[in-house]
Amino acid sequence: MRARNSYEQKLMRQSGLIASKALKAALGKVKLGATGFEVDKIVEKEIYAQGGDLSYKTVPGYKYATCITVNEGVVHGIPTDRKFVDGDLVSIDLAVMYKGWHTDCAWSVLVSGQETENKEQLEKTKFLKIGEAALWDGIVQAVDGNRVGDISAAIQARIEGAGYSVVRSLVGHGVGRSLHEDPKIPGFGAKGKGVGLESGMTLAIEVIFTSGSPELVLGSDRWTYYTADRSWGGLFEMTVIVGKGKAEVLTDWRKV
Ligand code: MF3
Ligand code: CO
């Protein structure tokens, strides 16, 4: 990928702002009794209201605004009308296209209805905390002069350090003119290896991880990937612009 010029970066920022607001709205809707389908509709509305388009519509055969997975679901889940229940671990993945520029982001949360969490919920909370930390560890490495492997190794160290696994069959990616561009950004790899990073490159850094084995199986809907051992799946993803000394995060929903 070539670096984006300042005009292109401006459009990417606008696309990212739409994605951030949509993700924030989606996460606010992940509550007891709500459904993935409802969350998807909110995201669609939010993206259109801000003048954006659904990036996932550029994927042949896919017609939703989001991918939503629960518990042992890991990625590419089709939104359904199943109601969220107490203790569900829900991942929302969405992408926006704005004036032809794509941004991609995902976040995982726990559905909690009780005041005191049980043991499984506490373990899920820890699982999510580590996944988020791995994402920020990876983003810190997205600086001019580093290599893709620096991002990958940072993510892998945090996930495996906590006893979890990084999925091997799916990876982060360049993003911008299309949803998926070069280079691939695995969540596993060796420091100092891989494609060199340059200011202005736009990357979707993804932490795709499980609480057990990294092996995945494809569900009967032919979209959703589940963990083969039925352990939990988690997903944290942000689109960033590589910078000198610091990456600029375009999809930080916590700041909008
Ligand atoms: N958001 C996914 C990614 O991070 C892509 C989902 S494509 C879809 O690369 F068609 F399944 F929506
Ligand atoms: Co992605």
> What six digits make up the tokens of 147?
């290599």
Domain with 143, as residue range(s), is 6-255
User: How many separate domains does the chain show?
Assistant: 1
Mean pLDDT along residues 67-96: 97
CATH of the domain at 180: 3.90.230.10
Ligand 2 center–CA 117 separation, angstroms: 31
Is residue 1 one of the residues assigned to a domain?
no
Is residue 214 one of the residues assigned to a domain?
yes
The per-residue pLDDT of the chain, averaged, comes to 97
Q: How far, in Å, CA of 150 to CA of 206, rounded?
A: 14
| Reported pTM | 0.97
pLDDT band at 117 (very low <50, low <70, confident <90, very high): confident
Decide if 93 contacts 237 (C-beta within 8 A): yes
Ligand 1 center–CA 233 separation, angstroms: 15
pLDDT score, position 195: 97
Residues in CB range of 62: below 8 A, 6 or more apart: 56, 223
Q: Does the CB atom of residue 29 touch ligand 1 within 6 A?
A: no
Is residue 238 one of the residues assigned to a domain?
yes
- Which atom of ligand 1 is found nearest the CA of 59? 10
* Letter string b/e over residues 84-118, b meaning 16 or more CB atoms within 10 A of that residue's CB: beebbbbbbbbbbbbeebbbbbbbbbbbbeeeeee
Using DSSP bridges, classify how beta strands 172-174 and 216-218 pair: parallel, antiparallel or unpaired: unpaired
Is residue 240 one of the residues assigned to a domain?
yes
Residue among 23, 76, 203, 239 to mutate when testing ligand 1 (max atoms within 8 A of CB): 76
Tens of pLDDT, residue by residue over 134-160, are 999 999 999 999 999 999 999 999 999
User: What is the per-residue DSSP string for 33-97?
Assistant: T-BHHHHHHHHHHHHHHTT-EEGGGGSTT---SEEEEETTEEE-PPP-SPBP-TT-EEEEEEEEE
Judge residue 74's burial from the number of C-beta atoms within 10 Å of its C-beta, 0-12 exposed, 13-18 middle, 19 or more buried. Answer: buried
Tens of pLDDT, residue by residue over 180-206, are 999 999 999 999 999 999 999 999 999
